[in-house]
Amino acid sequence: MELQESSEVPCVVELNVGGVFYTTALSTLTTESESHLAGIFTGQTPVEKDAKGKYFLDRDGVLFRYVLDFLRNKSLVLPEGFRERERLRQEAKFYGLPGLEKVILERSDSVIPGKRSPGYITVGYRGSFAFGRDGLADVKFRKLSRILVCGRVALCRDVFGETLNESRDPDHGMSDRYTSRFFLKHNFIEQAFDMLQEQGFKLAGSCGSGTAGGSAEQLKPGVDSEENRWNHYNEFVFVRE
């Protein structure tokens, strides 16, 4: 990475914050003129660029969305069940935003311990069985390629926290909506069930697609034909009242 002069910072800034990309206005980043964040983009502190030319900040990329929201709107709207207030407060302190720190502390005081909102979450997975050379006589283990999560965004974040992968979600960042494009960073279905149970959810229903059987569909290169016969898809609906 190379250091850049503040005079080179354009009106529209592309950022890489801890691996998460943002595009925002220079006026937004410098709206709190006395802040450390403003100093980074007005020449008081050197700023680096990554290999793709984006300005790089070695901070929490996911939490930076709330920093931007505060700078843009002069207010803070957190997802329901947000559990990273202390970490967000640390980010506000680093960027030199006392107003954001104050709002976070006020929100922390107003949180009602143990309060949980009702709702539904659907968990689905596509699985198969890995076979050895002897086919059915040598079944080794169940394979899960990905665990999908569908439901209200704020509720999903509340339950699965940092294990939730939002990279395939087109409206990444918004919380007051529903999505069917989240998936988990792990592939242990029992771990997902444990997390739901710990948050007070109960199984309301489930369904499965069965296996592919004798499908004549042409296989992709590298796909085992015997294993492909036993592909299946399952969904589980959980509810918290």
Query: What CATH number corresponds to the domain at position 18?
Result: 3.30.710.10
88 and 159 both lie in a single domain: no
Asked if residue 108 lies in contact with residue 92, where contact means CB atoms within 8 angstroms, the answer is no
Q: Is 196 exposed, middle or buried (0-12, 13-18, 19+ CB in 10 A)?
A: buried
The DSSP-derived string for 73-106 is HSS--PPTT---HHHHHHHHHHTT-HHHHHHHHH
75 and 138 both lie in a single domain: no
- pTM check: above 0.75: no
Of 50, 77, 110, the position where a domain reaches its end is: 110
> How high is the pLDDT of residue 90?
94
Of 68, 86, 110, the position where a domain reaches its end is: 110
- Number of domains composing the chain: 2
58 and 82 both lie in a single domain: yes
Q: Please list the ranges in the chain whose pLDDT falls under 70.
A: 1-7, 80-81, 107-115, 129-142, 172-175, 210-229
> How high is the pLDDT of residue 172?
64
Enclosing H/E stretch for 49: strand 47-49
106 and 36 both lie in a single domain: yes
Which domain, by its residues, includes 193? 119-240
How far CA 82 is from CA of 64, 108, 180, 211, in Å, comes to 14, 10, 20, 39
62 and 159 both lie in a single domain: no
CA separation for the pair 55, 36 (Å, rounded): 15
pLDDT in tens, 45-91: 888 889 998 999 999 999 999 999 999 998 888 876 677 888 999 99
> How high is the pLDDT of residue 114?
55
73 and 132 both lie in a single domain: no
> How high is the pLDDT of residue 191?
94
